[in-house]
Amino acid sequence: MKSMYNFLTSKTMIAAVIISFTIAGCQENSVENQSTATSEPSGSLLRTSGESEFVDGELLIQFKEGVSAAAKQKAFDKVKGQPVEKILTKAMERAGKKEGLALLKVNKNVLEAIAELKGAEGVEFAEPNYVYYHTAISTDTYFTNGSLWGMYGPATSPASTYGSNAAAAWAAGKTGLASVYVGVIDEGIQLTHPDLAGQVWVNPADPTDGVDNDGNGLTDDTNGWDFANNDASIYDGGTKGSLDDHGTHVSGTIGGKANGQGVVGVNWNIRLISAKFLGRRGGTTANAVKAVDYLTTLKNRGINIVASNNSWGGGGYSQALYDAIARANNAGIMFIAAAGNAGTNNDITASYPANYNLPNVISVAAIDKNGALASFSQYGATTVDIGAPGVAINSTTAYNSYSSYNGTSMATPHVSGAVALYASTHPGASVAQIRNAILSSAVPTPSLAGKTVTGGRLDVNAALSK
């Protein structure tokens, strides 16, 4: 009998060439080779008819392997384009994509330029440089009541029928391991926050000394890398237009430590790696690809990264980002994605990256403490997998603070935390095993019936028994 949890076949692949996401000189600089290109969206932003933002005057081209220099130049000339960056990550090279991605400046309508490149010699695909944004809605700037209902379960104390039931796992002594890593693809993380100090990865191969000791082209990527500003500072604390509140908030839900103060995450012991790509104006496809591939490269070098948390979305189908997530899948990294906050049906109107039909993608909707699907949460009977707490979620924020946020952004790290906790009790578990454990243990929930693939909500403790 075919398992009902073969979710690869239950998701719908929506492969539009020019539909978008939202989160979000010709030197051949690889991302690992300190590209000098501006990484945060610098031009004005445009939308397609589908209301997906992209950077005006920029597009991404993937050339076929072995294409001639003459064919490339012909493509550039066809759209009056100037290549400004070659994105060639170690993960791309490992996957046989030696051509990388070309980021092109064009002095014409982006969508017209893409249409002109369709079928051009040597061009595999061309697409906009989409812009993504985080998917949170701030409801309270103060940590007022200490409520962490999203961590409780029906039999824990305190109790919450519709919480993630992480507290039941803690009671059984399952609190995580420092040898398990989760990448936070988002804004940055305040690594000195009282509840996060010691939870953020310290790269033993590249201490902060002004030297690229590990030879990956990123000097002093001691705690991760800031692709939005192209530097090693994963926490800017407002100095570059981003408070890094959002990245710090999701980090606290995944791995806030138990220290008798503030909040606590699903994992008390864990290591978080910052792959920052969201800045003040969101983030781009180009930088999202770099961030995903950065984690894949670290995994291929032996770091036990089990998942990335992706509390962002928007824009249209991007082959470049799909390929990067597929490389992460091949490396054994789960990709946990927010379903989105527009209150719409993802089966009808695709939302990316949540809608990518890949084995490592789990798409997460938000529920409130009464078990209702949040009014803002996107859903989809075949494209959104599971629900998790996403309303009035208290967690860490920048400047040693605590805040309550709403959003599928807040639901997603509950699932990422569950993946990490599962990996701590099931060393070496595959993507398929982790996916099945999380989804097959979902608790049937009326508000999610017919709205998600599982029809249920996250149960961290039950997943650990799978």
The catalytically annotated residue of 30, 186, 226, 274 is: 186
The answer to whether 394 and 147 have CB atoms below 8 angstroms apart is: yes
Neighbouring-strand partners of residue 322: none
Residue of 246, 347, 377, 403 with catalytic role: 246
For residue 214, count CB atoms less than 10 angstroms from its CB and return exposed for 0-12, middle for 13-18, buried for 19 or more: middle
Any catalytic annotation for residue 39? Answer: no
**Residue 105 CA neighbour count, 13 Å, CB half:** 12
| Sequence-distant (≥ 6) Cβ neighbours of residue 302 within 8 angstroms | none
Q: Evaluate whether 59 touches 264 at the Cβ level (below 8 Å).
A: no
Evaluate whether 162 touches 367 at the Cβ level (below 8 Å).
Answer: yes
Residue of 164, 409, 416, 447 marked catalytic: 409
- Residues 6+ away with beta carbon under 8 Å from 70: none
Cβ 462 vs Cβ 441: under 8 Å: yes
Q: Is residue 233 annotated as part of the catalytic site, yes or no?
A: no
Q: Which residue has the tokens 């490592």?
A: 360
CA dist 294 → 103, 257, 310 (Å):
18, 25, 14
User: Which amino acid belongs to residue 227?
Assistant: F
Cβ–Cβ < 8 Å for 412, 309: yes
Q: How far apart are CA 14 and CA 318, in angstroms?
A: 11
- Cα–Cα distance for residue pair 59/45, rounded to 1 Å: 12
Cβ contact 131:315 at 8 Å:
yes
How many CB atoms are located within 10 Å of the residue 264 CB?
Answer: 23
3-state secondary structure of 14: coil
CB 276 within 8 A of CB 186: yes
User: Alpha-carbon distance 209 to 222, whole Å?
Assistant: 10
> Is 236 an annotated catalytic residue?
no
Q: Is the dihedral of CA 225, 229, 231, 234 positive or negative?
A: negative
| Residues designated as active site | 186, 246, 409
